[in-house]
Amino acid sequence: MQRRQGIQKSLGWATLLLALLAGPLLSGCDTKPKEPAQRPAPQVSTVTMQPQKITETSELPGRTSAFRVAEIRPQVNGLIQKRLFTEGSDVKAGQVLYQIDSAPFQAALDNARAALGRSEANLPSIRARAERYRALLADKAVSQQDYDDAAAALTQVEADIQYWKASVETARINLGYTKVTAPISGRIGKSSVTDGAIVTAYQPSALATIQQLDPLYVDVPQSTTQLLRLKRRLGDGRLNQDQNSRNMVKLILEDGTPYTLEGTLQFRDVSVDPTTGSVILRMIFPNPDGTLLPEMFVRALVNEGTNEQAILVPQQAVARNQKGEPYVMIVGAENKVSLRMLTLERAMDQKWLVSAGLAPGDRVIVEGLQRVRPDTVVIPVSVEDSPTPPASAPQPAAGTK
C-alpha cells in the first residue's frame, strides 16, 4: 500500500514538471518574430554655395627701411671743436652738426687772397709795357724779342691771377667744410666722436648717421610661384585689377594691430634672389607720428585684384583623406550624401577659397559629418535658415523661459 502511494506521488511530481516545461514551449509557438526598428535619417547642417565678390590680398612678411640714409663724414682733416646737436633728435638739412678747427683753413684762404692781390697788382704795369712794345714794334723802335718777352710776361701774370683765384675758391670751400652740416632732414643717431677728436677727410667710420623716417620704405619678398600664379589668374580673367586701388597696400604691425595709414606699391624688382626664389616688392608708407622704425618686422597686405565669382567654403566643412587631399560632403538629389574632391587656393578668414570642385547651388555639410557616409540619406537643415540670437542679445538665466 505504501509502495503504491509512493509511485503515485512520484508520477504526480513528474506530471507537474512536464507541465512547467511545456508551458513556455507552447506559448512560444503562438508568437511571431519582431522586425528590427529602422533608424531615423540623421540631421545635418548645410551651407549653400553662392558666388561672391571679394578682394584678394596677399599677406607678405617684410621689414621697414629708412627713406633716406646719410652717413656723416668730414671732408677735411682737423680737430673737432664742438658737437652741435643732441643725439637722437630731429635735424634739418643744412644744420651744423660738428665744428672743426677752422684756423688753418682761414690762414690758407688769407694766403691765397694775398697772392691773388699781388698778381692783380702787377697786371696793369705789365699790360701797359706789352701795349707800348706793340706800338714801338711797328716803328722798329724795339726788337721783336723785346715785344715777345713783354707779351709772355702779360700772359703769365694773367695765368697767375686765374691760379690764385682757384686757390682762393679752394681755400674758401675747405673753410666751409669745417662746419659739418646735415645733408638731409631726419633723425640723427649717436655720435661716434666727442669734442677734441681728430678726424680725417672721408674717413671710413661715420661721425653719425641721419635717417629720414617720414615717409618710410617697406621691403617684402614675394615668391616667384605666387607671382606666376597671380599673372596666370589675371590672364585667364579669374581676377580683375582696379587701376585706382591696385597699388594701395595695408600694413599689420608686429603686435598684430593694423597700421592706420595706407601705403603705395612702388615697384617689383626684376631680379630673383637665387637663395630664396623670390623678388622684392618695395612700398612706401607715410609715417608722420614715427610709429614705424627702421628694421621693424611687419606684414603687408598687397591688393592682388577682385574676384567676381569667388566660391568660399567654411573651413570646418573641409576634411582630408589619407593622401592629404581636401574634400567635402555634399547633399545631392533625394538628400543623399556624396563626396566631392576640392582644389583650394588659399585661406580667407575662416573660409577656404575654392578654385575647383564646387559650383553655385551645392549644399555642403558643415555640421554632422561624423554621422554620415557617402550614399547616406540625411535631413538637411540650412545654416542660413536656422535662427541664431544676435551676439549682443542677453542670454536668459538658467531655469527661466
Per-residue model confidence as pLDDT tens digits over 184-207: 999 999 999 999 999 999 999 999
pTM confidence score: 0.64
Q: Are residues 78 and 201 in the same domain?
A: yes
- Residues 178 and 96 sit within 8 Å (Cβ to Cβ): no
Residues 118 and 173 in one domain: yes
Query: Cell 587656393, residue?
Result: 345
Joined together, the cell numbers standing for residue 240 give 580683375
Q: Are 303 and 248 in contact (CB under 8 A)?
A: yes
Residue 96 lies in a domain: yes
d(CA 123, CA 188): 51
Are 212 and 185 spatial neighbours (Cβ–Cβ below 8 Å)? yes
Please report how many Cα atoms fall inside a 13 Å half-sphere around the Cα of residue 263, on the Cβ side: 30
CA distances 253 to 64, 152, 161, 259, 348, Å, are 11, 75, 64, 6, 19
319 and 286 within one domain: no
Same domain, 188 and 94: yes
Q: How many helices (H) and strands (E) does the chain have?
A: 4, 20
d(CA 130, CA 284): 67
* pLDDT at residue 389 in the model: 40
120 and 139 fall within a common domain? yes
Is there a domain that residue 20 lies in? no
Q: Which amino acid is at 132?
A: R
Q: What is the CATH number of the domain that holds 189?
A: 2.40.50.100
Helix (H, G, I), strand (E, B) or coil at 172: helix
* 125 and 221 both lie in a single domain: no
How far apart are alpha carbons 117 and 136 in whole angstroms? Answer: 30
Whether 345 and 365 map to the same domain: the answer is yes
Q: Is residue 11 part of a domain?
A: no
At residue 191, φ and ψ (nearest 5 deg) are: -95, 140
Angle (CA) 298-301-305 rounded to 5° is 165
| CA 51 – CA 307 distance, rounded (Å) | 10
Residue at 304 is within a domain: yes
Count other C-beta atoms under 10 Å from residue 324's C-beta. Answer: 6
303 shares a domain with 225 = yes
pLDDT tens across the length of the chain (401 residues) = 445 555 455 555 555 555 555 554 444 444 455 555 567 788 888 888 888 887 777 788 999 999 999 999 999 999 999 999 999 999 999 999 999 999 999 999 999 999 999 989 988 988 888 888 888 888 778 888 888 888 898 899 999 999 999 999 999 999 999 999 999 999 999 999 999 999 999 999 999 999 999 899 999 888 877 777 777 766 666 656 665 556 788 899 988 899 999 888 888 777 888 888 888 888 899 999 889 999 999 998 887 777 777 888 898 889 888 888 899 889 888 888 888 898 888 787 788 888 888 888 888 888 888 888 888 888 888 886 544 443 333 333 333 33
* Residue 184 forms part of a structural domain: yes
pLDDT of residue 209: 95
Specify the 3-state DSSP secondary structure of 267: strand
- Do 302 and 189 share a structural domain? no
Identify the CATH number of the domain in which residue 133 sits: 1.10.287.470
Q: What is the pLDDT of residue 233?
A: 65
Residue 364 in any domain: the answer is yes
Kind and range of the H or E run holding 156: helix 144-177
Residue with cell 670751400: 173
Structurally, the chain folds into a number of domains equal to: 4
pLDDT for 391 equals: 37
Which residues, in sequence order, are CB contacts of 54 under 8 Å at separation 6+?
A: 306, 307, 310, 312, 348, 353
**DSSP category for residue 277:** T
Domain hosting 183: range is: 74-100+178-205
Instruction: Name the nearest CA neighbour of 336 among 366, 372, 361, 371.
Output: 372
Which pLDDT score is estimated for 5? 52
Shared domain for 82 and 147, answered yes or no, is no
- Shared-domain flag, residues 233 and 152: no
In a domain, 30, yes or no: no
Question: Does residue 184 sit in the same domain as residue 199?
Answer: yes
Residue 267 lies in a domain: yes
